[in-house]
Copies of this chain bind each other. A is one copy, B any other.
Protein backbone atom coordinates (compact mmCIF):
# COMPACT_ATOMS: atom_id res chain seq x y z
CA UNK A 1 0.00 0.00 0.00
CA UNK A 2 2.99 2.33 -0.01
CA UNK A 3 3.30 2.83 -3.75
CA UNK A 4 1.14 5.93 -3.56
CA UNK A 5 3.14 7.42 -6.41
CA UNK A 6 1.47 5.01 -8.80
CA UNK A 7 -1.97 5.44 -7.27
CA UNK A 8 -4.34 8.02 -8.72
CA UNK A 9 -4.57 11.13 -6.58
CA UNK A 10 -7.18 11.41 -3.85
CA UNK A 11 -9.38 13.69 -5.91
CA UNK A 12 -9.16 11.54 -9.02
CA UNK A 13 -9.45 8.07 -7.60
CA UNK A 14 -12.40 6.45 -9.36
CA UNK A 15 -13.45 4.85 -6.07
CA UNK A 16 -13.19 7.94 -3.90
CA UNK A 17 -15.92 8.07 -1.23
CA UNK A 18 -17.16 4.62 -2.23
CA UNK A 19 -17.38 1.80 0.34
CA UNK A 20 -14.26 -0.15 1.15
CA UNK A 21 -15.83 -3.58 0.99
CA UNK A 22 -15.49 -5.05 -2.49
CA UNK A 23 -19.05 -6.25 -3.02
CA UNK A 24 -20.61 -2.95 -2.03
CA UNK A 25 -17.96 -1.01 -3.90
CA UNK A 26 -18.69 -2.85 -7.13
CA UNK A 27 -22.38 -2.13 -6.87
CA UNK A 28 -21.67 1.49 -5.98
CA UNK A 29 -19.46 1.89 -9.05
CA UNK A 30 -22.25 0.73 -11.32
CA UNK A 31 -24.81 2.95 -9.65
CA UNK A 32 -22.50 5.93 -9.83
CA UNK A 33 -22.01 5.35 -13.54
CA UNK A 34 -25.73 6.00 -14.06
CA UNK A 35 -25.58 9.52 -12.67
CA UNK A 36 -21.98 10.66 -12.77
CA UNK A 37 -22.49 12.68 -15.93
CA UNK A 38 -26.04 13.88 -15.50
CA UNK A 39 -26.49 17.67 -15.62
CA UNK A 40 -26.22 19.56 -12.35
CA UNK A 41 -29.39 21.02 -10.94
CA UNK A 42 -28.77 23.54 -8.19
CA UNK A 43 -32.10 24.77 -6.85
CA UNK A 44 -30.68 26.70 -3.90
CA UNK A 45 -27.44 28.64 -3.61
CA UNK A 46 -25.73 31.97 -3.25
CA UNK A 47 -23.85 32.61 -6.49
CA UNK A 48 -24.98 36.02 -7.84
CA UNK A 49 -26.58 36.31 -11.29
CA UNK A 50 -24.31 39.27 -12.05
CA UNK A 51 -21.41 36.85 -12.29
CA UNK A 52 -22.77 35.57 -15.59
CA UNK A 53 -23.95 38.94 -16.84
CA UNK A 54 -20.51 40.47 -16.33
CA UNK A 55 -18.71 37.27 -17.31
CA UNK A 56 -15.48 38.89 -16.19
CA UNK A 57 -12.28 36.99 -15.57
CA UNK A 58 -11.87 36.09 -11.91
CA UNK A 59 -9.34 38.49 -10.41
CA UNK A 60 -6.92 36.09 -8.72
CA UNK A 61 -6.81 32.74 -6.94
CA UNK A 62 -7.26 34.21 -3.47
CA UNK A 63 -10.23 36.34 -4.44
CA UNK A 64 -11.77 33.38 -6.22
CA UNK A 65 -11.16 30.50 -3.83
CA UNK A 66 -10.20 31.77 -0.40
CA UNK A 67 -11.49 35.18 0.69
CA UNK A 68 -15.19 34.72 -0.11
CA UNK A 69 -15.46 31.12 1.10
CA UNK A 70 -16.19 31.17 4.82
CA UNK A 71 -15.86 27.38 4.99
CA UNK A 72 -12.22 27.93 4.12
CA UNK A 73 -11.41 31.10 6.01
CA UNK A 74 -13.03 29.92 9.24
CA UNK A 75 -10.83 26.86 9.61
CA UNK A 76 -7.69 28.84 8.84
CA UNK A 77 -8.89 31.41 11.37
CA UNK A 78 -9.20 28.67 13.98
CA UNK A 79 -5.47 28.08 13.60
CA UNK A 80 -4.84 31.66 14.67
CA UNK A 81 -4.66 33.55 11.36
CA UNK A 82 -6.76 36.77 11.47
CA UNK A 83 -9.48 36.91 8.83
CA UNK A 84 -8.14 40.13 7.36
CA UNK A 85 -4.87 38.38 6.56
CA UNK A 86 -6.96 36.18 4.26
CA UNK A 87 -8.48 39.21 2.58
CA UNK A 88 -11.75 39.26 4.50
CA UNK A 89 -12.84 42.88 4.81
CA UNK A 90 -9.42 43.78 3.51
CA UNK A 91 -9.33 44.52 -0.22
CA UNK A 92 -5.75 45.69 0.01
CA UNK A 93 -4.45 42.33 1.17
CA UNK A 94 -1.55 41.03 -0.88
CA UNK A 95 -3.23 38.22 -2.74
CA UNK A 96 -0.15 36.06 -3.00
CA UNK A 97 0.69 36.54 0.68
CA UNK A 98 -2.84 35.52 1.64
CA UNK A 99 -2.54 32.50 -0.63
CA UNK A 100 0.69 31.48 1.08
CA UNK A 101 -1.13 31.54 4.41
CA UNK A 102 -3.75 29.26 2.94
CA UNK A 103 -1.09 26.97 1.49
CA UNK A 104 0.57 26.57 4.87
CA UNK A 105 -2.78 25.88 6.46
CA UNK A 106 -3.69 23.24 3.88
CA UNK A 107 -3.16 20.27 6.25
CA UNK A 108 -5.99 21.59 8.43
CA UNK A 109 -8.39 20.54 5.71
CA UNK A 110 -7.51 16.84 5.75
CA UNK A 111 -10.71 14.87 6.26
CA UNK A 112 -12.98 17.90 5.89
CA UNK A 113 -15.65 18.53 3.29
CA UNK A 114 -13.89 21.71 2.22
CA UNK A 115 -10.69 19.82 1.65
CA UNK A 116 -12.50 17.40 -0.63
CA UNK A 117 -14.10 20.20 -2.63
CA UNK A 118 -10.88 22.19 -2.96
CA UNK A 119 -8.98 19.16 -4.21
CA UNK A 120 -11.76 18.61 -6.73
CA UNK A 121 -11.63 22.22 -7.87
CA UNK A 122 -7.85 22.27 -8.18
CA UNK A 123 -7.62 19.02 -10.02
CA UNK A 124 -10.76 18.80 -12.12
CA UNK A 125 -11.34 22.44 -12.99
CA UNK A 126 -7.84 23.86 -13.01
CA UNK A 127 -5.80 20.78 -13.86
CA UNK A 128 -3.44 21.13 -10.93
CA UNK A 129 -1.93 17.68 -10.42
CA UNK A 130 -2.58 15.98 -7.09
CA UNK A 131 1.14 15.66 -6.47
CA UNK A 132 1.47 19.44 -6.61
CA UNK A 133 -1.53 19.94 -4.32
CA UNK A 134 0.20 17.75 -1.77
CA UNK A 135 3.12 20.17 -1.80
CA UNK A 136 0.98 23.16 -0.82
CA UNK A 137 2.18 23.29 2.79
CA UNK A 138 5.80 22.56 1.97
CA UNK A 139 6.60 25.27 -0.52
CA UNK A 140 4.23 24.40 -3.36
CA UNK A 141 1.93 27.34 -2.67
CA UNK A 142 3.48 29.67 -5.20
CA UNK A 143 3.50 27.10 -7.97
CA UNK A 144 -0.21 26.43 -7.45
CA UNK A 145 -0.90 30.16 -7.28
CA UNK A 146 0.94 30.75 -10.52
CA UNK A 147 -0.76 27.87 -12.30
CA UNK A 148 -4.16 29.16 -11.20
CA UNK A 149 -3.31 32.72 -12.18
CA UNK A 150 -2.42 31.61 -15.68
CA UNK A 151 -5.63 29.65 -16.01
CA UNK A 152 -7.73 32.59 -14.85
CA UNK A 153 -6.57 34.65 -17.81
CA UNK A 154 -7.83 31.98 -20.18
CA UNK A 155 -11.34 32.81 -21.49
CA UNK A 156 -12.25 29.20 -20.87
CA UNK A 157 -12.22 30.02 -17.17
CA UNK A 158 -14.73 32.83 -17.34
CA UNK A 159 -18.00 32.23 -15.45
CA UNK A 160 -20.17 31.40 -18.49
CA UNK A 161 -17.70 28.91 -19.88
CA UNK A 162 -17.40 27.30 -16.49
CA UNK A 163 -21.20 27.18 -16.16
CA UNK A 164 -21.30 25.12 -19.34
CA UNK A 165 -18.25 23.10 -18.45
CA UNK A 166 -19.69 22.18 -15.08
CA UNK A 167 -22.74 20.70 -16.79
CA UNK A 168 -24.99 23.12 -14.92
CA UNK A 169 -28.55 23.11 -16.16
CA UNK A 170 -30.28 25.14 -13.46
CA UNK A 171 -28.71 27.51 -10.95
CA UNK A 172 -30.85 29.33 -8.41
CA UNK A 173 -29.59 32.54 -6.84
CA UNK A 174 -30.81 34.06 -3.56
CA UNK A 175 -32.11 37.60 -3.80
CA UNK A 176 -33.47 40.53 -1.89
CA UNK A 177 -37.22 41.04 -2.38
CA UNK A 178 -36.56 44.49 -3.80
CA UNK A 179 -34.00 43.27 -6.31
CA UNK A 180 -35.06 44.35 -9.78
CA UNK A 181 -33.91 40.96 -11.08
CA UNK A 182 -32.52 42.79 -14.07
CA UNK A 183 -29.55 40.43 -14.20
CA UNK A 184 -31.85 37.44 -14.37
CA UNK A 185 -33.85 39.10 -17.15
CA UNK A 186 -30.69 39.85 -19.05
CA UNK A 187 -29.54 36.26 -18.87
CA UNK A 188 -32.94 34.90 -19.83
CA UNK A 189 -33.04 37.18 -22.85
CA UNK A 190 -29.51 36.38 -23.96
CA UNK A 191 -29.55 33.83 -26.81
CA UNK A 192 -25.85 33.12 -26.28
CA UNK A 193 -26.42 31.84 -22.76
CA UNK A 194 -28.44 28.69 -22.43
CA UNK A 195 -28.29 28.06 -18.68
CA UNK A 196 -31.28 28.70 -16.44
CA UNK A 197 -30.37 31.17 -13.68
CA UNK A 198 -33.39 31.57 -11.41
CA UNK A 199 -33.95 34.05 -8.62
CA UNK A 200 -35.08 32.99 -5.14
CA UNK A 201 -37.20 35.19 -2.91
CA UNK A 202 -35.47 35.63 0.45
CA UNK A 203 -37.48 38.01 2.64
CA UNK A 204 -35.92 37.43 6.13
CA UNK A 205 -34.74 40.99 6.53
CA UNK A 206 -38.27 42.23 5.83
CA UNK A 207 -40.00 39.82 8.20
CA UNK A 208 -37.94 40.11 11.33
CA UNK A 209 -38.34 43.48 13.06
CA UNK A 210 -35.36 42.82 15.28
CA UNK A 211 -33.01 43.04 12.33
CA UNK A 212 -31.21 46.33 12.01
CA UNK A 213 -32.88 48.57 9.44
CA UNK A 214 -36.17 46.70 9.29
CA UNK A 215 -38.30 49.84 9.41
CA UNK A 216 -36.48 51.49 6.52
CA UNK A 217 -36.56 48.33 4.46
CA UNK A 218 -40.26 47.88 5.04
CA UNK A 219 -40.87 51.48 4.05
CA UNK A 220 -39.03 50.97 0.81
CA UNK A 221 -40.88 47.72 0.23
CA UNK A 222 -44.22 49.39 0.70
CA UNK A 223 -43.28 52.40 -1.40
CA UNK A 224 -42.34 50.04 -4.16
CA UNK A 225 -45.13 47.53 -4.11
CA UNK A 226 -47.98 48.25 -1.67
CA UNK A 227 -50.13 49.79 -4.40
CA UNK A 228 -50.96 52.64 -2.09
CA UNK A 229 -52.29 50.42 0.66
CA UNK A 230 -51.02 51.21 4.14
CA UNK A 231 -50.45 49.32 7.38
CA UNK A 232 -50.32 45.55 7.60
CA UNK A 233 -52.54 45.10 4.57
CA UNK A 234 -50.15 47.16 2.48
CA UNK A 235 -47.19 45.25 3.82
CA UNK A 236 -48.75 41.90 2.88
CA UNK A 237 -49.76 43.21 -0.52
CA UNK A 238 -46.24 44.46 -1.17
CA UNK A 239 -44.77 41.09 -0.26
CA UNK A 240 -47.26 39.34 -2.53
CA UNK A 241 -46.43 41.68 -5.35
CA UNK A 242 -42.70 41.17 -5.01
CA UNK A 243 -43.21 37.42 -4.99
CA UNK A 244 -45.18 37.80 -8.21
CA UNK A 245 -42.30 39.80 -9.64
CA UNK A 246 -39.93 36.99 -8.74
CA UNK A 247 -42.22 34.41 -10.29
CA UNK A 248 -42.34 36.43 -13.50
CA UNK A 249 -38.56 36.21 -13.54
CA UNK A 250 -38.50 32.47 -13.14
CA UNK A 251 -38.34 32.04 -9.37
CA UNK A 252 -39.55 28.67 -8.14
CA UNK A 253 -38.94 29.07 -4.42
CA UNK A 254 -38.93 31.39 -1.44
CA UNK A 255 -36.29 30.76 1.20
CA UNK A 256 -36.47 31.49 4.91
CA UNK A 257 -33.46 31.62 7.20
CA UNK A 258 -34.84 31.89 10.71
CA UNK A 259 -33.26 31.17 14.06
CA UNK A 260 -36.07 28.81 15.09
CA UNK A 261 -38.85 27.23 13.06
CA UNK A 262 -41.46 28.65 15.40
CA UNK A 263 -44.64 29.59 13.58
CA UNK A 264 -47.75 31.23 14.98
CA UNK A 265 -51.05 32.07 13.37
CA UNK A 266 -52.34 35.29 14.83
CA UNK A 267 -55.70 36.89 14.27
CA UNK A 268 -55.45 39.51 11.53
CA UNK A 269 -56.05 42.34 13.96
CA UNK A 270 -53.37 41.25 16.38
CA UNK A 271 -50.87 40.85 13.57
CA UNK A 272 -51.75 44.30 12.28
CA UNK A 273 -51.28 45.86 15.67
CA UNK A 274 -47.92 44.11 16.15
CA UNK A 275 -46.90 45.46 12.77
CA UNK A 276 -47.80 49.00 13.82
CA UNK A 277 -45.85 48.66 17.03
CA UNK A 278 -42.85 47.35 15.15
CA UNK A 279 -43.05 50.16 12.64
CA UNK A 280 -43.15 52.72 15.41
CA UNK A 281 -40.17 51.07 17.06
CA UNK A 282 -42.29 50.18 20.10
CA UNK A 283 -42.22 46.41 19.72
CA UNK A 284 -40.61 44.42 22.52
CA UNK A 285 -38.30 41.54 21.76
CA UNK A 286 -41.21 39.18 22.39
CA UNK A 287 -43.39 41.19 20.02
CA UNK A 288 -40.75 41.01 17.33
CA UNK A 289 -40.39 37.29 17.70
CA UNK A 290 -44.11 36.76 17.63
CA UNK A 291 -44.45 38.89 14.56
CA UNK A 292 -41.75 36.96 12.74
CA UNK A 293 -43.41 33.67 13.74
CA UNK A 294 -46.68 34.91 12.32
CA UNK A 295 -45.01 36.11 9.13
CA UNK A 296 -43.60 32.64 8.59
CA UNK A 297 -47.20 31.49 8.61
CA UNK A 298 -48.11 34.21 6.12
CA UNK A 299 -45.26 33.12 3.89
CA UNK A 300 -46.69 29.59 3.88
CA UNK A 301 -50.09 31.00 3.02
CA UNK A 302 -48.59 32.94 0.11
CA UNK A 303 -46.71 29.87 -1.10
CA UNK A 304 -49.97 27.94 -1.14
CA UNK A 305 -51.48 30.72 -3.19
CA UNK A 306 -48.69 31.53 -5.63
CA UNK A 307 -46.97 28.17 -5.84
CA UNK A 308 -43.47 29.17 -4.75
CA UNK A 309 -41.78 26.26 -3.01
CA UNK A 310 -41.15 27.23 0.62
CA UNK A 311 -37.72 26.26 1.93
CA UNK A 312 -36.91 26.60 5.60
CA UNK A 313 -33.35 26.94 6.89
CA UNK A 314 -33.62 27.35 10.66
CA UNK A 315 -31.31 26.66 13.54
CA UNK A 316 -28.31 28.88 12.94
CA UNK A 317 -27.27 31.32 15.62
CA UNK A 318 -25.98 33.96 13.24
CA UNK A 319 -22.96 36.11 14.01
CA UNK A 320 -21.98 34.31 17.18
CA UNK A 321 -18.83 36.42 17.55
CA UNK A 322 -19.86 40.06 17.70
CA UNK A 323 -16.33 41.46 17.30
CA UNK A 324 -15.99 39.57 14.01
CA UNK A 325 -19.41 40.75 12.88
CA UNK A 326 -18.50 44.32 13.63
CA UNK A 327 -15.20 44.11 11.84
CA UNK A 328 -16.00 41.83 8.91
CA UNK A 329 -19.77 41.74 8.54
CA UNK A 330 -22.08 38.72 8.40
CA UNK A 331 -21.37 35.35 6.74
CA UNK A 332 -17.78 35.27 7.89
CA UNK A 333 -17.72 31.85 9.51
CA UNK A 334 -19.18 32.22 12.98
CA UNK A 335 -22.79 31.20 12.49
CA UNK A 336 -23.17 28.32 14.96
CA UNK A 337 -26.06 25.84 14.99
CA UNK A 338 -28.50 25.32 17.85
CA UNK A 339 -31.09 22.66 18.62
CA UNK A 340 -34.50 23.14 17.04
CA UNK A 341 -38.05 21.87 17.46
CA UNK A 342 -39.78 21.35 14.13
CA UNK A 343 -42.68 19.23 15.37
CA UNK A 344 -44.23 21.97 17.44
CA UNK A 345 -42.65 24.85 15.56
CA UNK A 346 -44.21 24.39 12.15
CA UNK A 347 -47.44 22.79 13.33
CA UNK A 348 -49.55 25.91 12.65
CA UNK A 349 -48.43 25.79 9.02
CA UNK A 350 -49.20 22.10 8.68
CA UNK A 351 -52.53 22.38 10.46
CA UNK A 352 -53.73 24.67 7.71
CA UNK A 353 -51.68 23.80 4.68
CA UNK A 354 -50.24 20.34 5.37
CA UNK A 355 -52.24 18.81 2.57
CA UNK A 356 -52.82 21.90 0.49
CA UNK A 357 -52.71 21.14 -3.22
CA UNK A 358 -49.32 21.91 -4.72
CA UNK A 359 -47.79 23.25 -1.52
CA UNK A 360 -44.14 22.21 -1.16
CA UNK A 361 -42.37 22.85 2.14
CA UNK A 362 -38.74 21.74 2.20
CA UNK A 363 -37.27 21.40 5.68
CA UNK A 364 -33.54 21.77 6.19
CA UNK A 365 -31.69 21.31 9.45
CA UNK A 366 -28.31 21.81 11.08
CA UNK A 367 -29.50 19.75 14.04
CA UNK A 368 -29.22 16.13 12.93
CA UNK A 369 -31.40 14.92 15.78
CA UNK A 370 -34.57 16.14 14.10
CA UNK A 371 -34.00 13.97 11.03
CA UNK A 372 -35.23 10.65 12.36
CA UNK A 373 -37.31 12.19 15.11
CA UNK A 374 -39.24 14.95 13.37
CA UNK A 375 -38.58 15.60 9.71
CA UNK A 376 -38.84 12.04 8.37
CA UNK A 377 -42.04 11.33 10.33
CA UNK A 378 -43.63 14.55 9.05
CA UNK A 379 -42.49 14.02 5.46
CA UNK A 380 -43.85 10.48 5.66
CA UNK A 381 -47.34 11.79 6.31
CA UNK A 382 -47.80 15.33 4.95
CA UNK A 383 -47.88 15.56 1.14
CA UNK A 384 -46.44 19.06 1.42
CA UNK A 385 -43.36 18.21 3.47
CA UNK A 386 -40.07 17.30 1.81
CA UNK A 387 -36.80 16.47 3.50
CA UNK A 388 -34.12 18.98 2.63
CA UNK A 389 -30.74 17.50 1.70
CA UNK A 390 -27.94 17.65 4.29
CA UNK A 391 -27.11 21.28 4.75
CA UNK A 392 -24.02 23.36 5.57
CA UNK A 393 -21.89 21.54 8.13
CA UNK A 394 -23.67 18.32 7.15
CA UNK A 395 -23.07 18.25 3.38
CA UNK A 396 -20.11 15.91 3.83
CA UNK A 397 -19.66 12.19 3.20
CA UNK A 398 -20.24 10.74 6.67
CA UNK A 399 -22.97 13.24 7.48
CA UNK A 400 -24.74 12.48 4.20
CA UNK A 401 -24.65 8.78 5.01
CA UNK A 402 -26.04 9.47 8.49
CA UNK A 403 -28.76 11.54 6.84
CA UNK A 404 -29.92 8.71 4.56
CA UNK A 405 -29.73 6.24 7.41
CA UNK A 406 -31.80 8.52 9.65
CA UNK A 407 -34.63 9.18 7.22
CA UNK A 408 -34.97 6.32 4.78
CA UNK A 409 -36.51 3.66 6.97
CA UNK A 410 -39.36 6.00 7.88
CA UNK A 411 -39.84 8.10 4.75
CA UNK A 412 -38.24 6.13 1.93
CA UNK A 413 -36.62 7.89 -0.99
CA UNK A 414 -39.57 9.75 -2.47
CA UNK A 415 -39.70 12.50 0.13
CA UNK A 416 -36.23 14.00 -0.26
CA UNK A 417 -35.38 17.22 -2.04
CA UNK A 418 -32.35 16.14 -4.05
CA UNK A 419 -28.95 17.63 -3.38
CA UNK A 420 -28.65 21.35 -2.66
CA UNK A 421 -25.19 22.90 -2.75
CA UNK A 422 -26.16 26.18 -1.06
CA UNK A 423 -22.83 27.72 -1.91
CA UNK A 424 -21.27 31.11 -2.62
CA UNK A 425 -18.22 29.30 -3.99
CA UNK A 426 -19.10 28.85 -7.66
CA UNK A 427 -16.18 26.59 -8.46
CA UNK A 428 -17.04 24.19 -5.65
CA UNK A 429 -20.37 23.24 -7.23
CA UNK A 430 -19.17 20.28 -9.33
CA UNK A 431 -17.17 18.80 -6.45
CA UNK A 432 -20.10 19.12 -4.09
CA UNK A 433 -22.48 17.35 -6.45
CA UNK A 434 -19.82 14.75 -7.18
CA UNK A 435 -19.52 13.96 -3.48
CA UNK A 436 -23.25 13.75 -3.10
CA UNK A 437 -23.67 11.38 -6.03
CA UNK A 438 -20.93 9.12 -4.72
CA UNK A 439 -22.52 8.98 -1.30
CA UNK A 440 -25.94 8.22 -2.73
CA UNK A 441 -24.37 5.37 -4.70
CA UNK A 442 -22.62 4.14 -1.57
CA UNK A 443 -25.77 4.16 0.50
CA UNK A 444 -27.84 2.38 -2.11
CA UNK A 445 -25.05 -0.13 -2.69
CA UNK A 446 -25.14 -1.09 0.96
CA UNK A 447 -28.89 -1.62 0.80
CA UNK A 448 -28.36 -3.83 -2.24
CA UNK A 449 -25.63 -5.94 -0.68
CA UNK A 450 -27.66 -6.28 2.49
CA UNK A 451 -30.55 -7.49 0.34
CA UNK A 452 -32.81 -4.66 1.33
CA UNK A 453 -33.49 -3.40 -2.17
CA UNK A 454 -32.83 -5.07 -5.50
CA UNK A 455 -30.00 -3.90 -7.67
CA UNK A 456 -32.47 -3.19 -10.45
CA UNK A 457 -34.50 -0.89 -8.26
CA UNK A 458 -31.34 0.81 -6.98
CA UNK A 459 -30.52 1.82 -10.54
CA UNK A 460 -33.91 3.48 -10.85
CA UNK A 461 -33.64 5.10 -7.42
CA UNK A 462 -30.30 6.75 -7.97
CA UNK A 463 -31.54 8.52 -11.08
CA UNK A 464 -34.63 9.58 -9.23
CA UNK A 465 -32.67 10.89 -6.26
CA UNK A 466 -30.11 12.79 -8.30
CA UNK A 467 -32.14 14.07 -11.19
CA UNK A 468 -35.90 13.73 -10.86
CA UNK A 469 -36.30 14.64 -7.18
CA UNK A 470 -34.98 18.21 -7.47
CA UNK A 471 -37.07 18.80 -10.60
CA UNK A 472 -40.18 17.44 -8.90
CA UNK A 473 -39.73 19.09 -5.51
CA UNK A 474 -38.64 22.47 -6.90
CA UNK A 475 -41.14 22.39 -9.78
CA UNK A 476 -38.42 22.74 -12.40
A positions within 8 Å CB-CB of B: 1-2, 4, 10, 13, 15-21, 23-24, 26-27, 30, 74-75, 77-80, 107-113, 115-116, 134, 317, 320-323, 333-339, 341, 343-344, 347, 350-351, 354-355, 366-369, 372-374, 376-383, 385, 393-394, 396-399, 402, 405, 408-415, 446-447, 449-457, 461
Contacts and interface: CB of A to CB of B under 8 A. Distances in A.
A10 B110 contact: no
Given A80-B383, A369-B369, A456-B4, A351 B336 contact: no
Can you list the 7 inter-chain pairs with the closest CB atoms, starting with the nearest?
A396-B409, A16-B451, A20-B449, A13-B451, A398-B405, A111-B408, A74-B381
A74 B13 CA distance: 42
Given A1-B27, A334-B382, A376-B393, 15 more contacts: A4-B454, A20-B21, A20-B450, A74-B381, A75-B411, A77-B381, A111-B412, A111-B461, A112-B409, A112-B412, A321-B382, A323-B351, A377-B393, A393-B409, A396-B410
B372 A454 contact: no
Contacts of A461: 110-111
Contacts of A366: 373
A321 B351 contact: yes
A452 B113 contact: no
A336 B457 contact: no
Given A344-B317, A409-B398, A78 B382 contact: yes
B350 A320 contact: yes
7 contacts: A2-B455, A16-B451, A16-B452, A17-B451, A110-B461, A321-B350, A393-B409
B452 A4 contact: no
Contact of A337 (B19, B347, B373, B411): B373
